[in-house]
Amino acid sequence: MPDKKVSLLYRFIRWLVRLFSPKMKVEGLENLPDEPVIAVGNHTQMFGPIAGELYYPGRHYIWCAGQMMHLKEVPGYAFEDFWSFKPKSVRWLFKIASYLIAPLAVCIFNNAHTIAVYHDTRIITTFRETLTRLQEGNSVVIFPEKNERYNNILYAFQDKFIDLGRMYYKKTGKVLSFVPMYIAPYLKTMYLGKPIPFDPAAPVKEERTRICALLMDAITDMAVSLPEHTVVPYRNIGKKNYPKNRPLEVYQDENAGH
């Protein structure tokens, strides 16, 4: 599949983002196999996709919400996903902002190395393009958190993306690996863990559960093993409520009664 033409406006925006966003180093490169992988990370609001686009090593594409690629769909999706948890007194401001960012979002998400993700019948197009990109030698970066707490580091993962392992094996005869990735904006570092291979002999439902649990636990373990720092959560909440990377039982004890 030939690369699409990239607009000058997007190139300028990308340059600005790279200039003003924290430069991230990458640790754990030795964990990446030679084959393309699915890298699975914590979303950290806007920091995850930015870090994935700018700093994930090698050729890669990023899953992004398909709604952010269509002008009419951006406002509703952006408000619900980014700002619906804001205090009621200021939500009207973010409603306006959701319309103002729409043209910019369409430019960015249609020019970056992205794969549109849908949660309706169009999901088959997401999987088909992902398989094509993997077969071309690209890795794919996914941020699958949903609005359900897992622990103080992560929200729980949606699990249907694990089916790519079965589809990739059926298409190529090769085993696809999923690499846990922890993004720590306050440490300005992206951490890559050991790959988790898909088992094509196991029922796919069992693999969804097994691999998602291993990914979430690996990301959590990476986070709590690091020097103390603030974790940027999936939900866009007030910074005073951002958790620390302490082990869950310690974090719960410290916040008991709050």
pLDDT digits (tens, 9 = 90+) for 9-20: 888 988 988 888
In a domain, 172, yes or no: yes
Within-domain flag for 31: yes
Nearest Cα neighbor of 155 from 48, 32, 37 is 48
- What does each C-alpha distance from 84 to 87, 91, 247 come to in angstroms? 8, 7, 29
- Find where tokens 């004890």 sit: 253
Residue type, 165: G
Residues in the chain: 258
Residue 77 forms part of a structural domain? yes
The yes-or-no verdict on residue 257 having pLDDT over 70 is: no
**60 within domain boundaries:** yes
State the total domains in the chain.
1
Residue at 9 is within a domain: no
Please tell me the pTM assigned to this model: 0.88
Asked whether residue 17 is assigned to any structural domain, the reply reads no
Predicted local confidence at residue 22, as pLDDT: 80
Residue 210: how many CB atoms within 10 A of its CB?
15
Q: Output the pLDDT for position 3.
A: 59
pLDDT attached to residue 196: 98
Q: Is 236 part of any domain?
A: yes
As a whole number of angstroms, the longest Cα–Cα distance in the chain is: 56
Nearest to 75 by CA among 42, 98, 52, 95: 98
pLDDT above 70 coverage of the chain, percent: 94
Q: Tens digit of pLDDT for each residue in 129-185?
A: 999 999 999 999 999 999 899 999 999 999 999 999 999 999 999 999 999 999 999
* φ/ψ of residue 42, rounded to 5: -80, 140
In a domain, 8, yes or no: no
The angle at the Cα of 46, spanning 45 to 51, to the nearest 5 degrees, equals 115
Mean pLDDT (the chain, rounded): 90
Cβ burial of 71 (10 Å; 0-12, 13-18, 19+) is exposed
91 against 191, higher pLDDT: 191
Query: Could you give the CA distance from residue 52 to residue 55 in angstroms, rounded to a whole number?
Result: 6
Q: Which domain holds residue 214?
A: 22-241
Q: Is 253 exposed, middle or buried (0-12, 13-18, 19+ CB in 10 A)?
A: exposed
